[in-house]
Amino acid sequence: MLDLFSDEAPWAEPLADGAVILRRRARQQGEALLTSIAQIAEQNPFQHRITPGGYRMSVAMTNCGDLGWSSDSRGYQYTEADNLSGHRWPAMPQPFRLLAQTAAQEAGFAGFQPDACLINRYEPGAKLSLHQDKDEKDLHQPIVSVSLGLPAVFQFGGFARGDGVQRVLLEHGDVVVWGGPSRLRFHGILPVKPGVHPLAGPYRYNLTFRRAR
Binding site as annotated, residues for Fe cation: 131, 133, 187
Beta bridge partners of 169: 153
- Report the length, in residues, of the chain: 213
Show the 3-state SS of the chain: CCCCCCCCCCEEEEEECCEEEEECCCHHHHHHHHHHHHHHHHHCCCECCECCCCCECCCEEEEEECEEEEEECCEEEEECECCCCCCECCCCCHHHHHHHHHHHHHCCCCCCCCCEEEEEEECCCCCEEEECCCCCCCCCCCEEEEEEECCEEEEECCCCCCCCCEEEEECCCCEEEECHHHCCCCEEECCCCCCCECCCECCEEEEEEECCC
Amino acid at 172: H
Q: Which residues does the annotation place in the binding site?
A: 69, 76-78, 120-122, 131, 133, 135, 161, 187, 204-210
Q: Which residues are annotated as a binding site for 2-oxoglutarate?
A: 120-122, 204-210
Annotated binding site for substrate, which residues? 69, 76-78, 135, 161
